[in-house]
Structure 1
Amino acid sequence: MNDIKKPLCAGSPCAALANTELRAAPFYTVRGKGFPIIFVHGMGVDHRSLMLLDDAFPEGTERIYIDLPGFGKTPALHGTGGLQDLSDWLRDIVLALGGNRDYALVGNSMGGALARDLVAGNSKHIAGMALIAPVVDPVKAHRRVGKHIIGHPNESLIATLPPEQADEFLTMGVNQSFEAWRRYQRFILPGTLLCDRGAMMRLDARYYLNGDPENRFGAFEGPVAIICGHEDQIVGYKDQRDLLPHYPNAVYTVVNGAGHNVHIDQPDVVRAALRDWIDLLPV
């Protein structure tokens, strides 16, 4: 499948961003044509981290994978570069990309918090949302996280990996199979090597939104998928369950044998949950 890869300012939507003070033109990749689905990745990776799931989406969908500022090929924001700054930037980008079209969101980890904040800002054209291991509480100490239990340790594999690569792989997931490593190596690792470390430090220092998104919109009626790893030691799965009263048409899935990189650990289960969600969208 041929991807379309370009900075947003290569096309006409750049005019919609001319007045933004943050001025970071995004790099993005598009697959397919039709109903737009916008993917928002997590911290420390880039747009490729979610492309593993691309084959869960049928023909008739336009999958738009965006690099957030300071990640991948999108330059960092000027100024403080906090989480709310990223959300405000993303709102402008989505407006430029989508115009007056309805669209759906897929947010992973930090991208899940940003997707929820987009709903809080203006949900008029948001037809649905899938949240994969989403951040709910930005304060790490407040999160109810899972126990990081590795069911089948693979010492022979881990012994062959460079220490700096093995550490992140072990921290973010619990599946130590060779296949899981290959997925991590292909979809996660390239983005970790491109991160702007200064931008990440600024983001970490202001890692909060202007209030909980759900407190601003009350309830979102569109179809929602919330997919979490049972062994997720980064954001857990219990805080996500507390979101359900705000999403009356949500399906909440906890995946056993999966850590924070739930889609790397158990991609088939995540794809199945996404396909069920897609069936409810106006595709």
Structure 2
Amino acid sequence: MTLNHVRRGKGSPLLLVHGLGAGWRSWEPILNDLAASREVIAVDLPGFGESPPLDGEVSIATLADAVAGFIKELGLDGIATAGQSMGGRIVLELARRGVGGDTVALDPGGFWSDRELAIFSATLRPSIALVSAVRGALPALLSNPVSRTALLAQLSARPWALSAQTVLPDVTGLADAPATGAAMDALTKGPKQQGAPAGTVPGLVTIGWGRRDLVTVPRQARRACTAFPDAELYWFDRCGHFPQWDAPQEAIRLILDRTT
């Protein structure tokens, strides 16, 4: 299927894959800076942003199928990829399949224990329900540092320091995207992420993790690196689940340094 996307910049192509939320706009805090050095292609996954939902089952496998099909459709074989959260898991799944080139996965899902997965589901689902219930008031709530901190404490290490412009697309996307519920089911009820034996992934694989991530907690990083033994682990200090929010310049440097 054709996925809605934006293309900016010139140079070696780089594909950005978002997590739950705003679609390609999740990358806006760092998109233009990346595009100063590369041709950046940022997609809306099916059912997010302006891409239509999948006709059938929504799973990590079918979402990865859609991205793989997009890569083939645009003739982007070997393209470097970067993803965050669910998007980080999708780019690792593509690397596991041998699709794409260098890979940067930021705080990917799929490496939780059963207990961690239960906590993830029990805490994030009510948060999504809450932002849906107060959808009309979100611009005002996110403009206030106190209410912004209350709403985003699970997602950011320093929500009071963020701008409403930075976070509003992702938060409203959680409420608006037709695929949010199905994607949450895929994450919480589907299989955990499979790994790739050493020497089987294309290009370099880098896994970045926020030391203060309360969604995919930091101890999951070691499991991710065990599953992908060729990967290099990078820690973002003082960073929560969204490096593009909490550490944008550091995220830009990591993505540019670790992909060609």
| SS in structure 2 of the partner of residue 127 of structure 1 | coil
Q: CA deviation at 1:240?
A: 2.1
- AA matched with 2:180: M
Distance 1:25 1:118 in 2: 17
Matched, 1:70 2:47: yes
Matched, 1:175 2:158: yes
1:220–1:248 Cα contact (<8 Å) kept: no
- 1:20-49 per-position Cα deviation (integer Å, ceiling 9, x unaligned): xxxx53110000233221111001331111
Choose which of 179, 186, 203 in structure 2 pairs with 1:206. 186
- 1:253-273 per-position Cα deviation (integer Å, ceiling 9, x unaligned): 222221112220121222232
Within-5 A mapping of 1:148-187: 160=144, 167-185=150-168, 187=169
Shift in alpha-carbon separation, 1:134–1:221, aligned structure 2, 3 A: same
Calculate the TM-score normalised by the size of structure 1. Answer: 0.71
| SS in structure 2 of the partner of residue 64 of structure 1 | strand
Within-5 A mapping of 1:1-283: 24-57=1-34, 61-99=38-76, 101-123=77-99, 126-137=100-111, 141-142=115-116, 160=144, 167-185=150-168, 187-189=169-171, 191-196=173-178, 199-207=179-187, 212-215=193-196, 219-220=200-201, 222-244=203-225, 250-278=231-259, 281=260
Distance 2:7 2:90 in 1: 20
1:31–1:64 Cα contact (<8 Å) kept: yes
Larger Rg: 1
Shift in alpha-carbon separation, 1:266–1:40, aligned structure 2, 3 A: same
2:145–2:160 Cα contact (<8 Å) kept: no
| SS in structure 2 of the partner of residue 37 of structure 1 | strand
2:14–2:79 Cα contact (<8 Å) kept: yes
| SS in structure 1 of the partner of residue 56 of structure 2 | coil
Distance 2:202 2:78 in 1: 14
2:112–2:220 Cα contact (<8 Å) kept: no
% identity of equivalent residues: 21
Distance 1:238 1:182 in 2: 31
Q: Which has the higher helix share?
A: 2
Segments of 5+ residues of structure 1 without an aligned counterpart are 1-23, 146-156
- AA matched with 1:171: Q
* Number of aligned positions between the proteins: 239
- AA matched with 2:144: T
- What's the counterpart of residue 11 of structure 1? none
CA-atom RMSD in angstroms: 3.3
| SS in structure 2 of the partner of residue 234 of structure 1 | coil
Shift in alpha-carbon separation, 1:217–1:91, aligned structure 2, 3 A: farther
1:38–1:103 Cα contact (<8 Å) kept: yes
